[in-house]
Amino acid sequence: MRRAGRFGWLPLTPAVVLLLVFLAGPIGYCVYIAFTNMQLTGSSSTDFVGFANFRRAFADPVFRNAVWLTLVFTVISSLVGQNSLGLLLATLMRRASKPVRTLTGAFVIAAWVLPEIVAAFLLYAFFRREGTLNGILDWLHLPSQNWLYTLPIIAVSFANVWRGTAFSMLIYSAALGEIPQDITEAAEVDGASGLRRFWHITLPMIRRSIATNLMLNTLQTLSVFGLIWAMTRGGPGNRSETLPVFMYDQAFNKSLIGYGTAVALLLLLISSLFSVVYLRLLKTEV
């Protein structure tokens, strides 16, 4: 490598300054607020309270409920939903005819490029009591449900699957495209069935893409807010209140900025745990 001169760091400075100001700055400020009792209204002073916010969170059954729902939401919509469905679509689309491929691709990607709030409204209209889904069920003479009321966490998970599958599909399409044709052909000549080829050749060869995709999906899903807020506001009761919604509720509805920020930090902690796990997966597979 060419040795950088004395002022070799100079070109990096603007980037570092920008990072400090816009990335490290807000994060540092959030860490500070998480240890205070800052409020939006009802108190003018802000005092340092140590770990009180965190103790409060762990003692709060509503917080624990939110952690649980966040995990349910992430597992259903990201791990199972987006990831598997994306892989399935990508595999099927490789065999489909060109028009089918274009059409499916267009639909799935359209769901992905829609702004979150628009997607949320569409799915709200789909799931609501007088919505499209119940309309279809009625037409088929099947019993209808008040989905957003009786199964809110399932409804928002489905919404997230609907919205996020395109991303997985794109990643897997790219990964599948990179599998050398001759390996597949060789397996075919050896008489391996489609399922066996998929299990013993395709999956091992796209392992790294799976890990990357899982990680991106999980992180994205953990921070989903607008979708849930617009569809159910975390309700009814707390039955779809995931951590981001809980955090917003504490910080802005209850005016407890300090507590809300502490919850945000805990959410960050959960995200980093997931990241670490996936990073290790990535490493061992190289």
Partner 1 sequence: MRPTAPLILAAAATVIAAGSLTACSSGSGSSPDTVKIAYQRSTNNKVLVMDNYLEAVKKDFEKANPGKKVKLIPIQADENAYYTKIQQMMRSSKTAPDLVYEDTFLINSDIKSGYLAPIDKYLAKWPSWDQFLPTAKTAAKAQDGKTYGVPDGTDTRGIWFNKDIFKKAGLPTDWQPKSWAEILDAARTIKQKVPGTIPLNIYTGKGPGEAAVMQGFEMLLYGTGADPLYDTASSKWVAGGQGFKDSLSFVNTVFSEKLGPQQSDALDPNVGTQVQTDWLPNGKLAIDIDGSWMGNQWLPTGGKPWPEWSTVLGQTAMPTQNGQAPGKVSMSGGWIYSIPAKSKNQDLAWKMIETLQTKQNAVKWTIQGAQIAVRKDVAADPDYLKSSPGVDFFTGLVQYTHYRPALPVYPQISTAIGEAMEAVTTGDAKPDAAAKTYDDSLKTIAGDAVVNKG
- Interaction of residue 248 with partner 1, rule CB under 8 A: yes
- Interaction of residue 284 with partner 1, rule CB under 8 A: no
Nearer to partner 1 by C-beta: 192 or 281? Answer: 281
Binding residue for partner 1, selected from 148, 161, 166, 231, defined by CB under 8 A: 148
Q: 3-state SS string over the chain?
A: CCCCCCCCCHHHHHHHHHHHHHHHHHHHHHHHHHCECCCCCCCCCCCECCCHHHHHHHHCHHHHHHHHHHHHHHHHHHHHHHHHHHHHHHHHHHHCCHHHHHHHHHHHHHHHHCCHHHHHHHHHHHHCCCCHHHHHHHHCCCCCCCHHHHCHHHHHHHHHHHHHHHHHHHHHHHHHHCCCHHHHHHHHHCCCCHHHHHHHHHHHHCHHHHHHHHHHHHHHHHCCCHHHHHHCCCCCCCCCCCHHHHHHHHHHHCCCHHHHHHHHHHHHHHHHHHHHHHHHHHHHHC
Pattern of binders to partner 1 over 159-198, x per CB under 8 A? ----------------------------------------
> By the 8 A CB rule, do 127 and 155 touch?
yes
How many residues line the site for partner 1 (CB under 8 A)?
Answer: 53
> By the 8 A CB rule, do 209 and 171 touch?
yes
d(CA 202, CA 159): 29
d(CA 1, CA 3): 6
- Interaction of residue 65 with partner 1, rule CB under 8 A: no
Query: Applying CB under 8 A, which part among 72-80, 101-109, 186-194, 249-257 lies near partner 1?
Result: 249-257
Binding residue for partner 1, selected from 13, 43, 84, 102, defined by CB under 8 A: 43
- Interaction of residue 42 with partner 1, rule CB under 8 A: yes
> In the complex, what is the shortest distance from the CB of residue 99 to partner 1, in angstroms, rounded to a whole number?
31
- Interaction of residue 225 with partner 1, rule CB under 8 A: yes
- Interaction of residue 17 with partner 1, rule CB under 8 A: no
The interface with partner 1 within residues 254-273 (CB under 8 A) comprises 254-257, 260-261, 264, 267-268, 271-272
Binding residue for partner 1, selected from 41, 97, 181, 284, defined by CB under 8 A: 41
- Interaction of residue 143 with partner 1, rule CB under 8 A: no
- Interaction of residue 220 with partner 1, rule CB under 8 A: yes
- Interaction of residue 132 with partner 1, rule CB under 8 A: no
Where along the sequence are the contacts to partner 1 (CB under 8 A)? Answer: 22-23, 26-27, 29-30, 39-44, 56, 128-129, 146, 148-149, 212, 215-216, 219-220, 222-223, 225, 233, 235-237, 239, 244, 247-248, 251-257, 260-261, 264, 267-268, 271-272, 275, 278-279, 282-283
